[in-house]
């Protein structure tokens, strides 16, 4: 009892804190949802419903009305009721739409849909969600050719997403987008570096706070000899299919260039390590990626040594990578733990990972959480889940085990939830 | 206190459920034990006693009387008293034979042995064990050439074990057994496929519910070109020692053929992933196998994509593989989590794995537990261990953390304990 | 409440036990600290302060006064207050120097420094620390050419550290040290074996209780053909740079020879598996090493089979290696679990690892803990941390879950804390 009351008191304090969400996939031109279809269209629900047996064709039928789509997904919700993802859905419906049942089912979903749609139709819905969720700023993940116009960049903070540059420069459309965005026609390694520099220029002028990339488990950043880089660039420009070695060289060259730009433009470089794309090719949109746990941060040894001025907030996809992340952050000044990503973003893993980080990484080097959301409504239940776990760990490991005062534990929690976001990304 | 009472109430409900045990090594012609030697001859006890210092020669002395064998093993039980395996032994002795001491030792083992032997001599002992254990059906692991005769296949459900076919087809005795079982003389790849088809025919006609195999950590299923398969089969038939590459090709060909038959015969394909055989060659019978944790479900990518109609209940030997299993089951409709296998079958790992599965895998895609037993008496303590952990997780994660009703949590537990066994394997 | 009182009672009993610390880096000629600089100079504090932003140059400035060094480190202590390592520091200051504040900061550190220095100046300080820490014997890690003179080898127990022999025999200084220590000029494989034998002779005559080595994650011990060994030795002697293959052969030959000597001299062979040296080259002294979790005990298969008479107490650096350690100790009679090493030596990991070991490894095959300390004062807080976790696991898993008596649980704890140290290393 005492322990649960303590935890509750700590949680109350954490819940009072206004947040900055340092990694999302929000479209700032349509940040909030318009109906339940926007929420349940999130890949967590479509992929789980598909995993439970709903054919992809029914979920992704061209021209499907959002309400009909929700109706189809609802048929599978009972099979998913145990998942933490469905608990987020219920919490959103409870908190935003006053939903009071314990499950969304055939009997109640239509009323819920209509209620939600009416609520979301309010002109200030986006602001309501931000306020109710306690969100002050939301970091984006912008395509490298995003003009960054037409939205409030002091609320929606740009971040430069670079996957396409590193892994798809061999595709003509990537190069066209790059040329259009920068005015630079890439003819060689030097003009490629020039073009990338212009992207950094554009992004930092628009208030960007990070460069970000997701990486496959076997990626190993290394400095590339200029002559090798040149050969790889020329091959890519020739529109011939690159050999794997060549394209690995090109990826490394672009990646290394990004790190150099992060030094020059003083941007943190968010690394999201470990995802294999398109593993399940028959899966729904964004529900095809998985991972190979046989990866190691030792692959980043050369990078961390070469760029002491760049801060690397690191997310790992595999929970078995967490101890390496703890240890590398404990040793390397420029390595910072960052959130609980995707397949590791469930309470069973968050609790273990949060606990080990708080026990062994300097408190100033931990970004507690980000929502990774596509629609604004998700920050509320995701941060709520994290704060409950954080409050538990603070209560048990710090107040009870180590005799800390409650206030000291709360301050530690607030630092990882918000203070470090400001310190690491600038604010 | 409240939490432990809650857990107790949930446990009581789970204990009332009659079970189907979906994976065992029971010999249906001698399912129950005849004496304590049958129970303590289980490799868990012989290998642990040997690990604690009892020479293999003393344990496996030819012609050793079972009582004498038990007496020798008892000398090491104190060294093993901490293990969960010895707690199973005590629970069996308590529940089946009224044993009341807290340990089996030099002073009490003979009386226990005699009491147990007398109890087990009752003509209906097998039925008593089934009833007391709450077992309705017990799945077997039959050699591919098992005639499946002389036992009740509605109680003891056949499953086709295929390790020998996939990994030992190069041995003449395997091929002889195959010919004897099917009447087909394998002369080429086509006749090998034909022979395997006849096994499936035989097994499914006798009520088989699964094809099963255990796999080494480096096995990677892939479709093989027919010409390569043909060459590999011919080499195997030639009685020459295959090169590793050739035998890998053959293994892949046979494995892929099994998956094709699973499609045709609508059988789930139980994959038990990660065991290295005969690592400790001086070990006791069945106490020589270990593992290399450096494996990944990414090795099964091609398989899962190629056979969407086949359900793959998957057991992983390494606890560090559990998150991959959770994630692959969350994404692939045809991947199902299956029990807690061997070196992962201890409470410390079961609790973590159970928790993560219940938080992220559709509830209909989880086979909670199987006993893996060789003798019928083991289902009772093994399932009891699992249910206690399951009740704890349901109480803590669902009723307390997520506000579920007790009944809803109990229903979830029952689904993973039994409902899904019926749904996945048919029943 | 009941549970916390139970845990407290078990802890009280464990705290009353006088300990043998079976692995440290104590210098027996200067075992205790002289000032707070000796304590805070421990790499855990320098590397964490550096990780939190203190430049290496400030920490390792040549000729830096210890008090000034402490003052500089103190500026970063607030950033590290969450770490378990800083909790050790506070516990030392509280227990040894009567420090009563909750943090060491700009206001109080000088008084603490002076108080500590005065306390440590007492002529019997070393004895006081040993007594207050409940330490009866302290195992050392001696260089192979240590004369082992000038200290009480019944208090400070020699152990032969062999990293230099296995991994740096190619360096002329290693060979010179070997010649000086043994009087043998290594001219070939046979004389190398002879020289190593003399080291064992010298160490065992001086009461050595173990041979010890730390190993990189990709090391794979194998027996080497004598001709290959001879070639590798000759190449090393030629002062030419060895190819990686050659030096791997030499490392394997020396390692295998050590195992043979352990058989002959009846010494346990402590293996500390998994460290990559000098990963962060800009790091502080002893704060540069990290690891690659992609390692497996399967690499030691040949070794464990070849030396059944040698006991191998094994420490793993990666927490993801713990299950393999549990399983290999459960199967191989000569494999013993040993402590919680370095990056795994934090409560979050100790608790999981302790729990799984106690559930599945014979109780006689577990060395619960060693301090790994460089200065004597560290045993107190490190063992205190371990005992609290051990008491928790004994209370929860054995008394509550399995119905053991408190005394039985306490006895199990004492066995792993002390009894097994005596049994495994002799005493």
Asked if residue B187 belongs to a domain, the reply is: yes
Determine the distance in angstroms separating the CA of C128 from the nearest CA of chain A, rounded to an integer: 25
Looking at the fold, whether A73 and A149 belong to one and the same domain comes out as no
Strands C156-157 vs C135-139: parallel, antiparallel or unpaired: parallel
The nearest CA of chain B is from the CA of C355 a distance in Å of 6
Query: Tens of pLDDT along B279-338?
Result: 999 999 999 999 999 999 999 999 999 999 999 999 999 999 999 999 999 999 999 999
A348 touches chain C (CB under 8 A): no
C-alpha dist (Å) from residue B27 to B32, B33, B141, B181, C159: 9, 11, 9, 19, 52
Chain A contact for C319, CB < 8 A? yes
User: Of the candidates B50, B81, B343, which has its C-beta nearest C363's C-beta?
Assistant: B81
Range of the domain at B254: 127-425
**What average pLDDT does this structure show over C323-339?**
98
Average pLDDT, rounded, for chain C:
97
| pLDDT band with cut points at 50, 70 and 90 for residue C1 | very low
Helix (H, G, I), strand (E, B) or coil at A199: helix
Residue with tokens 């439970």: A52
Q: Give the number of domains in chain B.
A: 2
Q: Is residue C134 part of a domain?
A: yes
From the candidates C218, C293, C296, which should be mutated to test the interface with B, based on the most B CB atoms within 10 A? C296
Q: What angle do CA A345, A349, A352 make, to 5 degrees?
A: 135
CB A153 within 8 A of CB A134: no
For B111-141, what is each residue's pLDDT tens digit?
A: 999 999 999 999 999 999 999 999 999 999 9
Check CB contact of B356 with chain A, cutoff 8 Å.
Answer: yes
Q: With pLDDT > 90 as the criterion, what percentage of chain C qualifies?
A: 96
The model's pLDDT over B386-406, given as tens digits with 9 standing for 90+, comes to 999 999 999 999 999 999 999
CA distance A224 to A254: 9
* Residue C398 CA to its chain's centroid (Å): 28
Last residue of a domain, one of B73, B101, B120: B120
Selecting from A51, A291, A346 the residue whose C-beta is nearest the C-beta of B359 gives A346
* Co-location of B105 and B71 in the same domain: yes
Q: Are residues A157 and A281 in the same domain?
A: yes
Q: What is the pLDDT of residues C200-214, one digit of tens each?
A: 999 999 999 999 999
Q: Which residues contact A253 (CB under 8 A, 6 or more apart)?
A: A189, A192, A224, A228, A229, A232, A233
| Beta-sheet strand order (sheet of B366-367) | B159-161, B210-215, B269-273, B312-316, B335-338, B366-367
**Residue ending a domain, choose from B120, B152, B187:** B120
What's the pTM? 0.98
Other Cβ atoms less than 10 A from the Cβ of C213: the count is 22
Query: Quick one: residue B260, left, alpha or beta (phi over 0 = left, psi -120 to 50 = alpha)?
Result: alpha
Q: Residues in chain A, how many? A: 427
* Subunits close to C (at least 3 CB pairs below 8 A): A, B
Element holding B82 (H helix, E strand): none
What pLDDT sits at residue C427? Answer: 59
Per the CB < 8 A criterion, the answer to whether C362 and B80 are in contact is yes
Considering the domain architecture, whether residues C106 and C149 belong to the same structural domain is answered as no
Question: Is C323 at the interface with chain A, CB within 8 A?
Answer: no
Residue B19 and residue B422: Cα distance in Å, rounded? 10
pLDDT recorded at residue A239: 74
Choice among A377-391, B224-238, C107-121 with the minimum mean pLDDT: B224-238
Task: Check C83 against A408: CB less than 8 A apart.
Answer: no
Q: Any CB–CB contact under 8 A between C75 and chain A?
A: no
What span, in angstroms and rounded, lies between the C-alpha atoms of A201 and A137? 22
Closest CA to C24 of C383, C293, C362, C328: C383
- In terms of domains, do C85 and C111 share one? yes
Is C356–B348 a contact, with Cβ atoms under 8 angstroms apart? yes
Long-range Cβ contacts of B178-186 (<8 Å, 24+ apart): B178/B144, B178/B145, B180/B145, B181/B144, B181/B145, B186/B233, B186/B237
Residue B23 lies in a domain: no
- pLDDT > 70: what percent of chain A? 99
Residue C298 is nearest to which of B51, B290, B319, comparing CB atoms?
Answer: B290
| Averaged pLDDT, A211-229 | 97
**CB-based contacts of C86, cutoff 8 Å, min separation 6:** C45, C48, C77, C80
Separation CA A45–CA A77 (nearest Å): 9
With respect to residue C23, please indicate whether it lies within any of the assigned structural domains.
no
Helix, strand, coil in percent for chain B, rounding step 5: 55, 10, 35
Which of A359, A365, A412 lies closest to C51 in CB terms?
A: A365
Write the secondary structure of chain C as one string of H (helix), E (strand) and C (coil). CHHHHHHHHHHHHHHCCCEEECCCCCCCCCCCCCCHHHHHCCHHHHHHHHHCCCCHHHHCCCCCCHHHHHHHHHHHHHHHCCCHHHHHHHHHHHHHHCCCCCCCCCCCHHHHHHHHHHHHCCCCHHHHHHHHHCEEEEECCECCCCCCCCCCCCCEECEEECHHHHHCCCCHHHHHHHHHHHCCCCCCHHHHHHHHHHHHHHHHHCCCCEEEEEECCCCCCCCCCHHHHHHHHHHHHCCCCCCHHHHHHHHHHHHHHHHHHHHHHCCCEEEEECEECCCCCCCCCCCCCEECCCCCHHHHHHHHHHCCCCCEEEEECCHHHHHHHHHHHHHCCCEEEECCCHHHCCHHHHHHHHHHHHHHCCHHHEECCCCCCCCHHHHHHHHHHHHHHHHHHHHHHHHHCCCCCHHHHHHHHHHHHHHHHHHHHCC
Residue A130 pLDDT: 98
Which positions 274-303 of B are in contact with A (Cβ < 8 Å)? Answer: 294-298, 301
User: How many CB atoms sit inside 10 A of residue A14's CB?
Assistant: 24
> Alpha-carbon distance A102 to C196, whole Å?
72
- B294–A279 C-beta distance less than 8 A: no
pLDDT higher than 60, residue B155: yes
- pLDDT tens figures, B36-47: 999 999 999 999
Determine whether the interchain pair A294/C292 forms a contact, defined as Cβ–Cβ distance below 8 Å.
Answer: no
- Please indicate, yes or no, if residue B18 is contained in any of the structural domains: no
Residue A169 sits in the same domain as residue A79: no
Q: How many CB pairs under 8 A join A and C?
A: 109
Condensed to tens digits (0 to 9), the pLDDT of residues B5-28 reads 999 999 999 999 999 999 999 999
C344-357 burial: b if 16+ Cβ within 10 Å, else e: bbbbbbbbbbbbbb
Give the closest of B76, B84, B352 to C360, CB-based.
Answer: B84
Give the residue on A whose Cα is nearest the Cα of B297.
A292
- Inter-chain touch A290–B308, beta carbons under 8 Å: no
CB contact (8 A) between residue B363 and residue A79 = yes
- Taking the CA of residue C78 as centre, how many other CA atoms within 13 Å lie in the half-sphere pointing to its CB? 10
* Alpha-carbon torsion, ordered C387, C388, C391, C392, to 10 deg: -150
The CA–CA distances, whole Å, from C35 to C93, C275, C344 equal 11, 30, 28
Tokens of C389: 């976790």
Q: Name beta bridge partners: C214.
A: C272
Residue A178 burial by CB count (10 A; 0-12/13-18/19+): exposed, middle or buried?
buried
Answer whether residue A1 shows pLDDT above 60: no
Tell whether the torsion through CA atoms of B261, B267, B273 and B276 is positive or negative.
Answer: negative
Give the DSSP H or E segment for B175. Answer: helix B172-182
Give the C-alpha distances (Å, rounded to integers) separating B264 from B197, B258, B267, B307. Answer: 9, 10, 8, 11
Nearest to C364 among B50, B79, B320 (CB): B79
Same structural domain for residues A184 and A147?
Answer: yes
Q: Is B401 on the interface with A (CB under 8 A)?
A: yes
At A130 the three-state DSSP class reads helix
Give the ipTM of the model, two decimals please. 0.97
| Residues A268-274, mean pLDDT to the nearest whole number | 98
* Chains contacting chain A through 3 or more C-beta pairs under 8 A: B, C
pLDDT at B212: 98
Give B341-375 pLDDT, tens digit per residue: 999 999 999 999 999 999 999 999 999 999 999 99
Task: Kindly state the DSSP code that residue B365 receives in the 8-state scheme.
Answer: G
pLDDT at B427: 59
B58 in C contact zone (CB under 8 Å): no
Query: Is C333 an 8 Å CB contact of chain B?
Result: yes
Among A120, A152, A171, give the residue marking a domain's end.
A120
Q: Do B365 and A50 touch (CB under 8 A)?
A: no
**Chain C residues within an 8 Å CB radius of B282:** 305, 308
Distance from the first to the final alpha carbon of chain B: 40
Residues from chain C that touch A321, judged by Cβ atoms under 8 A, are 293
Asked whether the beta carbons of C313 and C367 are under 8 A apart, the reply is yes
Which residues, at least 6 apart from B414, have a Cβ–Cβ distance to it below 8 Å? B13, B14, B17
**A363 and A257, same domain (yes or no):** yes
Q: Flag whether residue B87 sits within 8 Å of chain C, measured between CB atoms.
A: yes
The shortest CB-CB distance from C282 to any of A308, A355, A412 is to: A308
Count of CB contacts below 8 A, B vs C?
109
Asked whether residue A191 is assigned to any structural domain, the reply reads yes
Share of chain C above pLDDT 70, in %: 99
Binary contact (C402, B87; C-beta < 8 A) = yes
Residues C92 and C232 in one domain: no
The answer to whether the Cβ–Cβ distance between A282 and B321 falls below 8 Å is no
Across the interface, whether the CB atoms of A365 and C320 are under 8 A apart is answered: no
Does C102 share its domain with C207? no
Please report, for the domain that includes residue B97, its CATH number. Answer: 1.10.2020.10
Residue of B nearest to C318 (CA): B320
Q: Which of residues 148-167 of C touch A (CB under 8 A)?
A: none
> Within its chain, how far is the Cα of C152 from the centroid?
20
Q: DSSP letter for B394, please.
A: I
Residues of A in contact with C282 (CB under 8 A): 305, 308
User: Could you give the residue ranges of the DSSP H alpha helices within A332-393?
Assistant: 347-360, 379-393
The structure tokens 């005596």 sit at: C422
Average pLDDT over residues B243-265: 92
Contact B46, B285 (CB under 8 A): yes
Same domain? For C330 and C214 the reply is yes
Return the H-helix or E-strand segment holding B426.
none
Contacts of C329 (CB under 8 A, 6+ apart): B51, C314, C335, C336, C337, C357, C361, C362, C365, C366
Cα separations (Å) of B121 from A74, B321, B378, C245?
55, 43, 18, 63
Half-sphere exposure of C161 (CA within 13 A, CB side): 19
> Residue C338: which CATH number?
3.20.20.140
Return the bridge partners of C126, or none: none
Residue C239 has pLDDT above 90, yes or no: no
Question: pLDDT tens-digit profile of C18-74?
Answer: 999 999 999 999 999 999 999 999 999 999 999 999 999 999 999 999 999 999 999
Residues A105 and A146 in one domain: no
Assess C131–B contact: CB distance below 8 Å, yes or no. Answer: no
pLDDT of residue C240: 72
Window 171-210 of A, Cβ < 8 Å to C: none
Segment C144-163 shows an average pLDDT of 98
A14 part of a folded domain: no
Q: Is the pLDDT of residue B1 over 60?
A: no
Does B1 fall in a domain?
no
Of A83, A288, A290, the CB nearest to B360: A83
């Amino acid at each position: 009892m005492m322990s649960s009351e303590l935890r509750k008191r700590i949680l109350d304090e954490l819940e009072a804190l206004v947040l900055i969400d340092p990694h999302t996939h929000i479209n700032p031109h349509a940040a909030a949802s318009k109906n339940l279809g926007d929420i349940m269209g999130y890949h967590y629900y479509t992929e789980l419903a598909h995993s439970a047996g709903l054919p992809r064709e029914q979920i992704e039928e061209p021209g499907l009305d959002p309400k009909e789509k929700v109706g189809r997904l609802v048929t599978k919700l009972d099979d998913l009721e145990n998942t933490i993802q469905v608990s987020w859905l219920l919490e959103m419906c409870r908190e935003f739409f006053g939903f009071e049942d314990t499950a969304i089912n055939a009997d109640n979903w239509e009323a819920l849909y209509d209620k939600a749609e009416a609520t979301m139709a309010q002109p200030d819905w986006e602001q309501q969600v931000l306020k109710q969720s306690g969100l002050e700023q939301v970091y984006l993940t912008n395509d490298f050719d995003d003009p960054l116009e037409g939205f409030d960049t002091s609320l929606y903070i740009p971040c430069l997403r670079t996957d396409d540059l590193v892994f798809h420069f061999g595709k003509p459309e990537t190069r066209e987008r790059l040329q259009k965005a920068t005015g630079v026609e890439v003819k060689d390694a030097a003009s490629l570096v020039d073009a990338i520099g212009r992207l950094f220029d554009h992004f930092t002028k628009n208030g960007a706070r990070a460069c970000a990339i997701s990486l496959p488990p076997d990626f190993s950043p290394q400095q590339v000899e200029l002559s090798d880089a040149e050969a790889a660039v020329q091959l890519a420009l020739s529109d011939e299919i690159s050999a794997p070695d060549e394209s690995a060289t090109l990826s490394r060259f672009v990646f290394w260039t990004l790190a150099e730009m992060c030094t020059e433009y003083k941007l943190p470089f968010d690394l999201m390590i470990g995802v294999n794309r398109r593993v399940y090719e028959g899966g729904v949109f964004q529900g095809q990626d998985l991972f190979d746990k046989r990866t190691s941060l030792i692959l980043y040894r050369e990078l961390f040594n070469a760029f002491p001025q760049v801060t690397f907030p690191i997310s790992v996809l595999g929970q078995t990578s967490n101890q390496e992340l703890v240890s590398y952050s404990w040793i390397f000044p420029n390595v910072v733990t960052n959130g609980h990503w995707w397949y590791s973003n469930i309470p069973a893993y968050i609790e273990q990972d949060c606990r080990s980080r708080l026990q062994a990484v300097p408190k100033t080097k931990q970004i507690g959480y980000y929502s990774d959301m596509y629609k604004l409504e998700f920050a509320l239940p995701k941060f709520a889940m994290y704060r409950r776990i954080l409050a538990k760990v603070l209560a048990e490991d710090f107040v009870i085990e180590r005799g800390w005062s409650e206030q000291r534990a709360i301050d530690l929690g607030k630092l990882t939830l918000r203070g470090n976001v400001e310190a690491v990304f600038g604010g």
